[in-house]
Amino acid sequence: MTERVVLAYSGGLDTSVAIGWIAEATGAEVVAVAVDVGQGGEDLEAIRQRALDCGAVEAYVADARDEFATEYCMPALAANGLYQDAYPLVSGISRPVIVKHLVRAARQFGATTVAHGCTGKGNDQVRFEVSITSLAPDLKCLAPVRDLALTREKAIAYAEKHKLPIETTKKNPFSIDQNVWGRAIETGFLEDIWNAPTKDVYNYTDDPTFPPVADEVIITFDQGVPVALDGEKVTPLQAIQELNRRAGAQGVGRIDIVEDRLVGIKSREIYEAPGAMALIAAHRELENVTLEREQARFKRNVEQRWSELVYDGQWFSPLKKNLDTFIADTQKYVSGDIRLVLHGGRATVSGRRSEQSLYDFNLATYDEGDSFDQSSAVGFIDIYGLTSKLAAARDVKFGNGVDLGDGEL
């Protein structure tokens, strides 16, 4: 039986050429798998047909938009997932769901190898291959661009020679990856980190310099998951899509960052994630209202580690699963409404309400009705500061007290 390779297929030049390139280099038949995670663009049926026209023996397409939104974007939201406190893991959370479908196809079509179109310099090669071997340790991995020396110039020449039904051009200034959670743009003139991004870089967001009238939205959460916008019930996918539209119109979610890649180099990346950033802003504020202080402090540490693991391609790792359990438990009382004002590139919280709130008006108020016993503060301060007081007394005893200087008050 001829060996088979499952290829993560996007419908673009590189993966279209990779079908024949892999077949010629390895003698294997290629099964193309395209996964829709809300990237928009061409119809999946057209992509499937293109794969067959380029030589695939089988072509499989999957509409994974709801699955991606519910099982991958929502855990990222629960974790307030931001790599380097800025990047909402647009690509990092999409690779595991794509890999899940690749492995499923490999089992269905009897493939022994899974291939992807990543280079040897990026993060995605790690995300794909670590995820593949985490789900199916017996499968082999292949990266034609990296392993079979498939350069862009060779890809264009191959496509023209074999008259493949794919547009070939040497002028493509950016490398773009997008899904419903956001859009990532790199390369081209952006590699000079002094260059400002131009208008043609952006697609999900409008210029926030001249925004339309402010847009106010009320987001309702149930255990950390958005379930309604302005009182209208929504699925996770619908919530992201609608906020992409509304927050995007206000220029919310533009990110320009030099980030630390997993492979050890720094890379300048432009992201736009209007829906994701608006939801994270709202979710964080609802947690401020509903999470206990020590729980919230510890969760911030967990969020950072969770984001690093996902960025580094460890979605299916034991530690990430352990952190998922903790994060999921913290969401038990993260329910209520957050009012956001979307305007001029910002998503600003202007109101919060929750039946599970830990905010007590009578404890917080300085006006009539104050129920806080202020006399308790004296003893609290004595005990709270006792260890520092004892240490300071020792410092004075041994001549190591704080130098107050000679100046006059």
Judge if 181 and 162 occupy the same domain: no
Structural domain includes residue 369? no
pLDDT at 407: 67
Q: What is the CATH number of the domain that holds 117?
A: 3.40.50.620
- Say if residues 221 and 335 touch (Cβ distance below 8 Å): yes
DSSP state of 7: E
98 and 195: one domain?
Answer: no
CATH of residue 268's domain is: 3.90.1260.10
- Regarding whether 188 and 278 lie in a shared domain, the answer is yes
Same structural domain, 274 and 127 = no
Is residue 382 part of the annotated active site? The answer reads no
Structural domain includes residue 276: yes
Tokens of residue 67, six digits: 């699955």
Query: Are residue 133 and residue 277 in the same domain, yes or no?
Result: no
What residue numbers does the annotated binding site cover?
Answer: 8-16, 87, 117, 119, 123-124, 127, 175, 259, 271
User: What's the mean per-residue pLDDT of the chain?
Assistant: 94
**Which of 3-7, 256-260, 292-296, 370-374 is least confident?**
370-374
Residues 247 and 138 in one domain: no
Q: 262-313: per-residue pLDDT in tens?
A: 989 999 999 999 999 999 999 999 999 999 999 999 999 999 999 999 999 9
Which of 14, 177, 206, 312 is an active site residue?
Answer: 14
Residue 332 near residue 223, CB atoms below 8 Å: yes
The residue among 117, 140, 172 that closes a domain is: 172
On whether residue 261 sits in a domain, the answer given is yes
Residue 115 tokens read as: 């291939």
Query: Which of 43, 63, 107, 175 is labelled catalytic?
Result: 175
Domain that holds residue 248: 176-291+334-353
Same domain flag for 187 and 157: no
Looking at the structure, tell me whether residues 159 and 227 fall in a common domain. no
* Active site (annotated) includes residue 124: yes
pLDDT at 169 over 80: no
pLDDT at 346: 98
Residue 221: inside a domain: yes
Asked whether 8 and 141 are in contact (CB, 8 A), the reply is no
- Asked if the structure places residue 383 within a domain, the reply is no
* Tens digits of residue pLDDT in 333-357: 999 999 999 999 999 999 999 999 9
Cβ atoms within 10 Å, residue 8: 24
Asked whether residue 25 is domain-assigned, the answer is yes
The reply to whether 391 falls in a domain is no
Annotated binding site for ATP: 8-16, 117
> How many structural domains does the chain have?
2
Q: Do 219 and 232 have their domain in common?
A: yes
Q: Are residues 139 and 186 in the same domain?
A: no
pLDDT for the residue numbered 170? 62
395 has catalytic annotation: no
The pLDDT of residue 41 is above 80: no
Catalytic residue among 36, 50, 94, 124: 124
Rounded CA-CA distance 155/167 in Å is 11
Regarding whether 281 and 220 lie in a shared domain, the answer is yes
**Largest Cα span, the chain:** 91
Is the confidence at residue 124, as pLDDT, over 90? yes
Catalytic residue among 48, 95, 183, 246: 95
In contact, 215 and 341? CB cutoff 8 Å: yes
**Which pTM does this prediction carry?**
0.93
- pLDDT band of residue 173 (cuts 50, 70, 90) is low
| 149 & 207 share domain | no
Strands (E), 274-393: 336-343, 346-353
Give pLDDT, residue 408: 66
Identify which of 409, 279, 255, 261 has the alpha carbon closest to the alpha carbon of residue 334.
279
**94 given a catalytic annotation:** no
Q: Cα–Cα distance between 186 and 189 in angstroms, integer?
A: 9
Domain-located, residue 160 = yes
CA 381/CA 375 separation, integer angstroms: 11
**Binding-site residues for L-citrulline:** 87, 123, 127, 175, 259, 271
